[in-house]
Amino acid sequence: MNGFSLIRLVTLPVLLLTFATGCGNPADIFKQPDSGPAEQQQQLSDQVHVESITSTALFHDVELLENGSFEGQRSNIVTGWRVSPFPSYNKSSQEAQSGKLALELIGSDSPYTTLKQTISIHPSVFGRVLDAKVDVKSAEARKVVFSITFKVDGKDKRVWRENSGGEDWETLNIKTKVPPGADPKNVVFEVKLWSAGNSSALLDTASAVMKQEEAPIAFAATERIWNGSFERVTGTVPEEWTKYFLNLTQEPVGAYDGNFALGLALIAERTGTFKQTFSVPPEPGLKLRAKLNVKCSDVGKLAFFIAFDVDGQRTLSRIVNNSGGEDWETLTIDTQVPQDADPEQVVYNVGLRPGVEGEVIIDAASVVALEPGFEQEPEQESEPEPEPETPPETQPEPEAETQPESEQETPA
C-alpha cells in the first residue's frame, strides 16, 4: 500500500514532464549541454531521485488516497481501505455523493468500527498544508470521528473532526500543517464510528491532497479536546479523560450539545478533578480560547483552568463558575501559550471543591487555537475577559496528581 502510493506519486510528474516536453527520454530535460552518454545513463538511473527534487510543485493537488469515492467494493471488501473489526461491518450503499456507491459503516461489538488508509506524503512538503476531507451522513451528532494521524518520533500526532449529525450529508474537513519530523510514509487517514446504540454512517468522497499554501493557516476550526461533548463513555469515564475523586454519570436530559452531558459528584470531602492533556501547534505567540459549559448552583465551587508546563513549572489560566443559576453558564478562558511551554503537555482541567451540594453538570468542553493575525475572525463572538487570577496556592489540583492509578478505575 505505502509503496504503491509512493510509486504513483513519483511516476505522475515523470509522465507529465515527458508529455510536456514532447521527447521520448524524460531524462533529457535534466541534461546539461556537455553531457556524454555515460552521464545520460547515470541521469536515467537517478531519474526518480532527480524528479523528486526538481518537480515538487507537482506533488500538490495530487490525490493521495486510493478509492476515495468507495466505488471499488465487493463482498464487504472495499479496495484500498482497512475496516475493523472485519468482516461484515461495512456494506455498499446506492445513496452516493459521488460516483455510484457510498460506503456504509455499521456499529460492531467493539467500541468503534474503524475505516483507515495509510498514505504517503512527499518529504519536501513538511510544514505545508494537508487538506483532507470526507463526506459523512449519520443521524446522531459526534458518532463519527474523522482524523489524520502523523507519526513523529514514534508518537502519534492526531487532528480530528466530529460529525454534527442530522439528515443531510456533511463534509468533515481537516486542514493541517504537516508537523516537523513526521514520518512521510505513515500518515493515517481514519474514520471511526462509535458503536454504542443503533449506529451507522454513510461515507463518500474521501480525499487527501497537499496544498501549496505557505501562509499561516487558521487553526480556529481545529478542536483540541477529544470527546469534549462526553458522548462516548467506556465504563464510567469518557474516552480520553481522567478523573480523581469523582463519580461521573452520563446525563441524557438537557445536554448543551449532542445527546449527553456529564454529571460530576464528589466521592470524598476533598477536591475532585477531571482532566485531559492535549497538544497545540508549536507556533510562537499562539492564542487559545478554552470553553466549558456548566450548571452548578454553588457559586465558586467549580474551577476551570488551563495549565501549561514551562520547564517543569505549571502556569495556569483559571476561572470559576459565578452565575449559580439553573441555566447553562459558559466559562471562557482566553490565554496565550507561554514562551517555552511544552506544546504537547497542555492540560484542560475541571476542579470541584469540597462542600458543593447541588447537581453539577458539564458539557461541550472545547479548546481552539488561533494563530497571530487570525484572532479577529468574524465568526467569533466577543467574550468577556476571564476574572483576574487568584494566587496559585488556592489551586485545587496538585495533590490529585499523586493519587494511585486505581482511583481512576473505581467504578461508580
Give the footprint of Ca ion on this chain (CB under 5 A). Answer: 69-70, 96, 98-99, 204, 229, 255, 257-258, 260, 363
Nearest residue to 370 (alpha-carbon basis) of 269, 287, 273, 260? 287
CA distance linking residue 123 with residue 258, whole number of Å: 39
CB nearer Ca ion, residue 260 or residue 328? 260
215 grid coordinates: 501562509
> Strand order of the sheet with strand 82-84?
82-84, 112-119, 187-194, 144-152, 155-162
Helix (H, G, I), strand (E, B) or coil at 276: strand
CB 115, min distance to Ca ion, A: 14
Task: Give one word for 324, left, alpha or beta, with left for phi > 0 and alpha for psi -120 to 50.
Answer: left
Contact 6, 14 (CB under 8 A): no
CB nearer Ca ion, residue 363 or residue 397? 363
Count of all residues that appear for the chain in the document:
412
CB 262, min distance to Ca ion, A: 7
CB 269, min distance to Ca ion, A: 29
DSSP string for residues in 228-270: TT---EETTEETT-EEESEEEEEE-SS-SSSS-EEEEEESSSS
Cell 493521495 found at: 64
CB nearer Ca ion, residue 170 or residue 283? 170
Contact 193, 163 (CB under 8 A): no
Q: Which pairing describes strands 155-162 and 144-152: parallel, antiparallel, or unpaired?
A: antiparallel
CB 364, min distance to Ca ion, A: 6
CB nearer Ca ion, residue 286 or residue 361? 361
CB nearer Ca ion, residue 160 or residue 308? 160
CB 206, min distance to Ca ion, A: 9
CB nearer Ca ion, residue 174 or residue 206? 206
CB nearer Ca ion, residue 162 or residue 363? 363
For the four alpha carbons of 377, 383, 384 and 385, in that order, the dihedral sign comes to negative
Q: Which value, in Å, is the radius of gyration of the alpha carbons in the chain?
A: 25
CB nearer Ca ion, residue 134 or residue 319? 134
CB nearer Ca ion, residue 143 or residue 318? 143
Amino acid present at 378: P
CB 96, min distance to Ca ion, A: 4
Spatial neighbors of 183 by CB under 8 A, at least 6 apart, are: 150, 151, 152
CB 285, min distance to Ca ion, A: 32
CB nearer Ca ion, residue 93 or residue 279? 93
Nearest residue to 177 (alpha-carbon basis) of 121, 118, 240? 121
CA distance linking residue 353 with residue 1, whole number of Å: 53
CB 69, min distance to Ca ion, A: 4
CB 155, min distance to Ca ion, A: 29
CB nearer Ca ion, residue 18 or residue 332? 332
CB 39, min distance to Ca ion, A: 48
Containing H/E element for 274? Answer: strand 272-278
CB 124, min distance to Ca ion, A: 31
Containing H/E element for 15? Answer: helix 2-21
